[in-house]
Chain A
Amino acid sequence: MPEAYPLPSNLSSATVTNTASLLRIVTLALISGAAIASRLFAVINFESIIHEFDPWFNYRATRVLATKGFYEFWNWFDPTAWYPLGRVVGGTVYPGLMATSGVIYNLLHALNLPVDIRNVCVLLAPGFSALTAWATYMFTKEMKDPSAGLLAAAFIGIVPGYISRSVAGSYDNEAIAIFLLMFTFYCWIKALKQGSALFGTVAAVFYFYMVAAWGGYVFITNMIPLHALVLILMGRFSNRLYAAYSSWYAIGTLASMQVPFVGFQPVKTSEHMAALAVFGLLQIVAFAQLVRSHVSSQQFQKLLFIGVVAIGILGAAAFGIMTLKGWIAPWTGRFYSLWDTGYAKKYIPIIASVSEHQPTAWPSFFMDLQFLIFLFPAGVVVCFRQLRDEHLFVIIYAVMASYFAGVMVRLMLTLTPVVCVASAVALSTLLDTYIDPTEPEINDDTVSESGASTASAPAPGANGTSHPTTPKKTKKAVPPPQSTSALGQIIAASRSSNNKPRPKGIFGADTRLMVVFNAMCLLAFFVFHCTWVTSSAYSSPSVVLASTNPDGSQHIIDDFREAYYWLRQNTQEDSVVLSWWDYGYQIAGMADRPTLVDNNTWNNTHIATVGKVMASSEEVAYPILRKHDVQYILVIFGGLLGYSGDDINKFLWMVRIAQGIWPDEVQEPSFFTPRGEYKVDDQASPTMRNSMMYKMSYYRFAELFGGNAATDRVRQQQLPKVGPTLDYVDEAFTSENWIVRIYEVKKEDPLGRDHKSANAFSQGKKRKRTKPAQRRRAIL
């Protein structure tokens, strides 16, 4: 029996298994460490701070939970959001995230570890990423074997596609959701394989957790039924499937209805109907199987078959009717826009305006998944080779998720785990093949039974972590399905270890070395790539901006917090702040002041009101401002620094959304130059130049440049020498780099004049004469 390289022969199998398990534990620990460490760039480069926008709300809610207790949080009515409407927070959030960190917080304090709640929130995502790695390991172990599991865990630990939503400080639902997703799937697979109602129940419990944590639970709600359906269609129905699915669906659905924000959706909306339908179908099929096993007459079986089909059709029809009747709510906009991709832009501009709802170009795929992106198709094919039930799951998951990820950038998150699993399967198969030292003999007649068995025996001992997959296969009840193509037959033959295997193996050490070395290079490159992407692209908390001084040292631009803190310290507790909805959560979190609109965009009209204020002239906006007793207006202006994410660039969305409600008061075309360009310089359209947004952004901006022409660094345009003038609002505060500008809305004039004439009076006659002229131009 030739071998490419010698193996230690004096090892007892016990030693091998023990060493293997020890190695596995150590490796998992190291992987978790790497996963956590690579997410701490944000904390090291900047500080332990909550990132971006939504996390600020979660953080605020968590603080309430941690300080006031769960009951208070549960029926917390937040009067400062959506002023004057307020928001019932308890019923309109997915409480899973807050509850999790609340529990952790209380646990630590019970152990006399007074950790600040902020740090708990900041470090939650990295911590859970370690758990995700573990869950992925378990999942992949079910697919192939522990060695593949370890690879998958390592991949998911550092792959940018997942890090992008789980760096330290991005305290969002996705932080814990991916772990729940993977673990629910793992439990499902386990339940399916063993047909155990226990694992089905565990899956249901984690499904409930997922429902409580993330709106994306709908993905699970449709993934598992789809898997079950495909199994049925392939004639792979079994009692294991029945037990697993029924236990999962029954308990999971009931549990999920306990989340107030979800309520009765699981039985009323179309997103959840697939699960219900499959559940029904499963019952029918099971019944049919039962009868078939007892009855033997052909006709009856035919009849039965027809009956089954009829019932299925009837059910589908009933579903359709109920949808038409409106007893079942049709798909929600966000969900629907996944299928009809033009839908959002036309009907729900707010959804379309969010950057993470844009479609994905291929560079972002490669950026987020690097070499996994072309390794995972190979993995899928490998899954096809021995088509077990769980492999089907991976295949379906891969196809669906790659579609969704293509439609929406943010759904890259759901694609990432399956990519990691599939490519881990592929890579570990490759390594198994090329590390296994046994060489096949070259002889024409097929190898003897003993030769084959010995050929496969030392393999597990050879590479520390790989277990023989044969026992699992023999346990599996599924017979190798017949396949037509030659390749298929080859593999079918090679799979079943009882009939004679076609000899396989690699000759020579150099080939092995070649392939393994190549794989190692790929992996090393992957690590470098991930580190670079994480540190450069995904680790900046958009609250703090960083630039580099001429001498190369890092310079922190902290205007947002400067302005927010000023609001917090030097304005009344109850003064209402108006800003575009992107900044609602941050103002509530950092400035602690009431806001008109914020990032949970549930009230289109209210947002459109803000859009209208920004888009219309002072005279029009002032009454609206007073009606909503707004005291301060906050605009983001990047023109001085070249910060491109500012309000002037978002302005068109404000206009569009306002236009949706007031089509004849706000019109998008009138904000463009006659040539249809979007300009802010002296060619800007009069409507543009009279809009609140324009005025507040460029108020006294030209003066900053003394005599020289003022340049907007974002738009690269020269501004007119004389800047806009403001009559109805006062500049209250402007941050150091002019990024945040806060204006105070004047009270009504004590003498009952309108502010324009009041100002004109106080500034002498000159202004008074010129003003009306401008006014007339503006209206026309």
Chain B
Amino acid sequence: MKSFSFIFALLSLPFCIANTQDAVHKQLVELAVAGNGVIKLDPKSFDLITSPKRNWSAAIQLTALDKRRRCLPCNDFDPSFNAVAKAWATTSKKNRDNHFFATLDFDDGQVVFQKLGLTSAPVVQVYPAVEGPRAPANGKVAPIPYDFSSGYEASTLAEAMSRYTPVVIPYSDPIDWARYSTFAAGLLAFTVMLRFIAPILQSRWTWATISIGLSLIMTSGYMFVRIRGSPYAAQDGSWIAGGYQNQYGQEVSVIAFIYGLLAFAFLMLIMVIPYQMSPNRQRLQVYLWTGVIMIIYSILISIFRVKNRGYPFKLFL
């Protein structure tokens, strides 16, 4: 008897598996439609979607959106993931149902995180199809992690995901109306104001200030901060970054100010003081600005010595 049932089970095994696979697939499709493109997962459905006999592929975002988790990148990334999924949902049905986008939140499925041994979020893993026509030729079915090194933008994500979907994800960046409108408004305002601000525009000193400002900001490492995205100041509040090849945002302002002050001192000596017609006040100013130059300069040197420890020279302090 026991043996008979065993044989029966053995016989019926393939059918039921096939059935279950179809059922699971149908279920997933519904879920996807429900959550317009994104399937909200829990441990159970996670096992379903990553079942070792899947004939579909899936891109799963493992994240921790809850405020208490204080995962800023998760919240930064989530919208782009959803956007891409939404774009995918617009493709034709037969393509769409071969690939799923799903999200598993840490609070819903800690077990999964432990099982995958994940210590950080967000993580996007692509599970290629195991069976069926879309199983990869090289037979690599291990989940492929998405590389965040190129940022959290939706466009890059869509580009990367398109390698695993049957057709390219029809994603295009939303037009940034706000920016354009502000630009247009600015332009309009400018044209309107033109006749009023014309004298200012024609004054060379406006332009002088602009160009000086620009070069001061640039020469104090503004572009470095922008490109490297280095913070305004360190967590511990120290505003000056150790190391010769590194700097914080705050240094830009400080250094620019110092440079500006020194340049201004020289300008006073060159352009203003000679026209000061009372000897004593002139003498006073000369001494004042010379002193300013000496002191500020030595401050600058001392800051530089902090950045570049090997620097042998120093001024008064």
Please determine if A and B sit in direct contact within the complex, based on CB atoms under 8 angstroms apart.
Answer: yes
Q: What residues of chain A have their CB less than 8 Å away from a CB belonging to chain B?
A: 341-342, 346, 358-367, 371, 373-378, 380-382, 384-385, 387, 395, 398-399, 402-403, 405-407, 426, 429-430, 433-434, 440, 442, 481-485, 487-488, 490-491, 502-508, 510-511, 514-515, 518, 522, 525, 528-529, 532, 536, 663-664, 667-669, 674-676
CB neighbours of A667 from chain B (8 A) = 144-145, 147
Secondary structure of the A side of the interface? Answer: helix
CB neighbours of A346 from chain B (8 A) = 150, 156
Tell me if B23 counts as interface (CB < 8 A to partner A): no
CA A485 – CA B258 in complex, angstroms? 25
- Name the residue on A nearest B246 (C-beta): A361
CB neighbours of A365 from chain B (8 A) = 219-221
Tell me if B286 counts as interface (CB < 8 A to partner A): yes
- Contact indicator B219/A402 (Cβ below 8 Å): yes
- Contact indicator A507/B279 (Cβ below 8 Å): yes
- Name the residue on B nearest A362 (C-beta): B221
CB neighbours of A358 from chain B (8 A) = 245
- Name the residue on B nearest A429 (C-beta): B270
Segment with Cβ contacts to A, from B35-43, B69-77, B82-90, B307-315: B307-315
CA A518 – CA B270 in complex, angstroms? 14
Interface contacts beyond A364-B244, A366-B304, A374-B262: sample of 13 additional A-B pairs, CB < 8 Å, sorted by A: A342-B227, A361-B224, A362-B220, A374-B263, A382-B271, A399-B214, A406-B218, A483-B204, A484-B202, A485-B203, A504-B275, A507-B282, A511-B283
- Contact indicator B247/A363 (Cβ below 8 Å): yes
> Scoring B residues 241 to 268 as 1 if CB is less than 8 Å from chain A, else 0, what string do you get?
0001111000110010011101110110
Segment with Cβ contacts to A, from B13-21, B56-64, B102-110, B289-297: B289-297
Q: List 16 A-B contacts (CB under 8 A).
A: A341-B223, A342-B227, A359-B223, A359-B226, A359-B228, A374-B260, A375-B266, A403-B214, A406-B219, A433-B274, A503-B275, A503-B277, A504-B274, A506-B282, A664-B140, A676-B120
- Contact indicator A403/B218 (Cβ below 8 Å): yes
Tell me if B211 counts as interface (CB < 8 A to partner A): yes
CA A664 – CA B140 in complex, angstroms? 9
- Contact indicator A371/B277 (Cβ below 8 Å): no
CB neighbours of B212 from chain A (8 A) = 377, 380-381
Contact of A377 among B120, B215, B244, B252 (CB under 8 A): B215
Tell me if B67 counts as interface (CB < 8 A to partner A): no
CA A380 – CA B215 in complex, angstroms? 10
Tell me if B49 counts as interface (CB < 8 A to partner A): no
- Contact indicator A663/B163 (Cβ below 8 Å): yes
- Contact indicator A505/B147 (Cβ below 8 Å): no
- Contact indicator A675/B286 (Cβ below 8 Å): no
Tell me if B114 counts as interface (CB < 8 A to partner A): no
Tell me if B8 counts as interface (CB < 8 A to partner A): no
CA A398 – CA B304 in complex, angstroms? 23
CA A406 – CA B212 in complex, angstroms? 15
CB neighbours of B226 from chain A (8 A) = 341, 359
- Contact indicator B283/A507 (Cβ below 8 Å): yes
- Name the residue on B nearest A674 (C-beta): B117
- Contact indicator A515/B269 (Cβ below 8 Å): yes
Tell me if B138 counts as interface (CB < 8 A to partner A): yes
CB neighbours of B244 from chain A (8 A) = 361, 363-364, 367
CA A494 – CA B277 in complex, angstroms? 15
- Contact indicator A514/B287 (Cβ below 8 Å): yes
CA A752 – CA B274 in complex, angstroms? 92
Known contacts A362-B255, A668-B149; A407/B227 CB under 8 A:
yes
CB neighbours of A484 from chain B (8 A) = 199-200, 202-203, 205
CA A366 – CA B251 in complex, angstroms? 13
Counting chain B residues whose Cβ lies within 8 A of the other chain, the interface size class is 35 or more
B291 CB to nearest chain A CB (Å): 9
CA A506 – CA B210 in complex, angstroms? 30
- Contact indicator A669/B267 (Cβ below 8 Å): no
- Name the residue on B nearest A403 (C-beta): B218
CB neighbours of A507 from chain B (8 A) = 279, 282-283
- Contact indicator B119/A675 (Cβ below 8 Å): yes
CA A366 – CA B259 in complex, angstroms? 11
- Name the residue on B nearest A659 (C-beta): B147
CA A730 – CA B275 in complex, angstroms? 81
CA A481 – CA B207 in complex, angstroms? 14
- Contact indicator A403/B223 (Cβ below 8 Å): yes
CA A473 – CA B211 in complex, angstroms? 25
Contact of B208 among A384, A440, A676 (CB under 8 A): A384
Across the A-B interface, give the 10 residue pairs with the lowest CB-CB distance, nearest first: A406-B223, A362-B221, A507-B279, A377-B263, A402-B215, A374-B262, A406-B218, A374-B259, A378-B266, A402-B218
Secondary structure of the B side of the interface? Answer: helix
CB neighbours of A525 from chain B (8 A) = 313, 315
A506 CB to nearest chain B CB (Å): 6
Contact of B205 among A374, A384, A663 (CB under 8 A): A384
CB neighbours of A518 from chain B (8 A) = 290, 293-294
Contact of A532 among B145, B218, B251, B312 (CB under 8 A): B312
Contact of A367 among B163, B293, B308 (CB under 8 A): B308
A366 CB to nearest chain B CB (Å): 6
CA A409 – CA B277 in complex, angstroms? 46
- Contact indicator A536/B310 (Cβ below 8 Å): yes
Known contacts A361-B246, A381-B267, A488-B204; A399/B275 CB under 8 A:
no
- Name the residue on A nearest B203 (C-beta): A484
CB neighbours of B208 from chain A (8 A) = 380-381, 384
CA A360 – CA B119 in complex, angstroms? 35
CB neighbours of B310 from chain A (8 A) = 536
* Of listed A380, A433, A518, residue having the most chain B CB within 10 A: A518
A71 CB to nearest chain B CB (Å): 45
Contact of A490 among B207, B264, B275 (CB under 8 A): B275
- Contact indicator A430/B269 (Cβ below 8 Å): yes
A629 CB to nearest chain B CB (Å): 27
Tell me if B222 counts as interface (CB < 8 A to partner A): yes
CA A403 – CA B211 in complex, angstroms? 11
- Contact indicator B270/A426 (Cβ below 8 Å): yes
CA A387 – CA B202 in complex, angstroms? 13
- Name the residue on A nearest B297 (C-beta): A371
CA A667 – CA B271 in complex, angstroms? 62
- Name the residue on A nearest B150 (C-beta): A346
- Contact indicator A361/B221 (Cβ below 8 Å): yes
CA A361 – CA B307 in complex, angstroms? 11
- Name the residue on A nearest B230 (C-beta): A361
- Name the residue on A nearest B289 (C-beta): A515
B281 CB to nearest chain A CB (Å): 10
CA A474 – CA B170 in complex, angstroms? 68
- Contact indicator B222/A485 (Cβ below 8 Å): no
CA A360 – CA B224 in complex, angstroms? 6
Tell me if B12 counts as interface (CB < 8 A to partner A): no
CA A481 – CA B219 in complex, angstroms? 30
- Contact indicator A362/B211 (Cβ below 8 Å): no
- Name the residue on B nearest A665 (C-beta): B138
Known contacts A399-B211, A669-B147; A487/B205 CB under 8 A:
yes
- Contact indicator B251/A528 (Cβ below 8 Å): no
* Of listed A373, A429, A434, A529, residue having the most chain B CB within 10 A: A373
B294 CB to nearest chain A CB (Å): 7
CA A426 – CA B271 in complex, angstroms? 10
Contact of B223 among A360, A508, A669 (CB under 8 A): A360
CB neighbours of B286 from chain A (8 A) = 506, 511, 514-515
Tell me if B182 counts as interface (CB < 8 A to partner A): no
A435 CB to nearest chain B CB (Å): 12
- Contact indicator A359/B224 (Cβ below 8 Å): yes
B205 CB to nearest chain A CB (Å): 5
- Contact indicator B279/A442 (Cβ below 8 Å): yes
